[in-house]
Structure formats: structure tokens, C-alpha cells
Amino acid sequence: MYDSEDDFGVGVAPKSAFFSSANGGASRHLVVNGSSERMAVKVKCSNNRLFRISPVFTILDPGCAQRLQIVRDPGSPGTDKVILLYTRTTGRNARDAFEQSDKSQHGRLLIALIAHEGEEKPNEAEDNRNKDMQRKRGSAGRSENGQNSRTYRGPTRPTDQRLTQLPMIGQCDTANNKG
């Protein structure tokens, strides 16, 4: 039941984070409650030795969002994961909501944590090569008037549409987000 945001209307973006194994790094994610019910969220990590995550527990009111900060210390390259467990609640304490709820009722979302060797992202070197090739070709990828011919076609998933309709993070009741 991973990535089951259709069950409860809870989503996370982005669903992956890339880090340098030599330098570590940080990544920000947005957890969104697109449902009409209050949700308690609990964050678990497969490697607590290298990663620090904040917040671990939070309450999300309907239509609200919470930033999630993931920090990785330098270490060996590899792949880890963050699991976001969420459940419906009427209370104000996320930790209590998980102690009182049935585990079979928990929804789950995953964030992939990828630490690569070197100091730049694996796709960054390839992107730089592609940019160099485009510069050498001149107007490749441009229309007759010199503008970029690639156009943004709008949200590609229902989650993206929900993100644009939510209030800003500061507009939600953040006093309830302590677990």
C-alpha cells in the first residue's frame, strides 16, 4: 500500500532526494493533505545514522501542507528511504494518534534517498553535456522567433493540481503541528 495518496488524499513532492556521499546535503519536501479530514503524519527513515528529518510527527488539517526537511551527513554512497505513515485523527497530538490507531489503517508514502559518489548529481554532468551540445548547435530547440519551443503544459497529476489550490503554509494552524 505504498504511494496510496488516492486512499486518503495525502501526497508528497518531490518523491526522491539526491545527495553527495562525500558532502552530504539537505532536501526539502512538501507533505500535502488534500482530503477533507485531519491527518496525523509520522516520518520513519531506513538509516537514522546518516539522516536527520524534521518534523517526525505532525498534524495536517484539511487542505494544509507541511514542509519536511531531510539532512544527510557525509558517508558511503547508497540508497535509503523515508516512509511517511499517515492516519485519520480528530486529536491534536500526532504521536497519540498513532499509538491509538490500528496499523492496518495507516497509509504510506515513500521518498527515495539516493547518495551518489562525487560532488555533483548523477544527471547534472549529463545535463551540462547536453547544454554544451545545444550551445554548439546554435538555435536547436528554439522556434522561429528565438523563443524556447518547449512549453509548459500545466499539472500532470491530480496531486499537482491540489498543490496549486492549497493555502500557503503559513495560513494553516501550525500550532497543532507539534507531536
The Cα 66–Cα 39 span in angstroms is 12
- pLDDT for the residue 9: 85
**In tens digits, what is the pLDDT along the chain, a chain of 179 residues?**
444 444 568 999 999 999 999 999 999 999 999 999 999 999 999 999 999 999 999 999 999 999 999 999 999 999 999 999 999 999 999 999 999 888 888 999 999 999 998 765 555 555 555 566 666 666 545 545 555 444 444 444 444 444 455 555 555 665 555 55
Residues facing residue 4 across a β-bridge: none
Q: Where are the domains of the chain?
A: 5-137
- pLDDT for the residue 154: 43
- pLDDT for the residue 48: 94
For residue 31, what are the contacts with CB-CB under 8 A and spacing of at least 6?
10, 11, 12, 41, 58, 60, 65, 66, 67, 68, 84
Q: Which CATH architecture has domain 5-137?
A: Sandwich (2.60)
Q: In whole angstroms, how far apart are CA 123 and each of 33, 116, 126, 130?
A: 31, 11, 5, 10
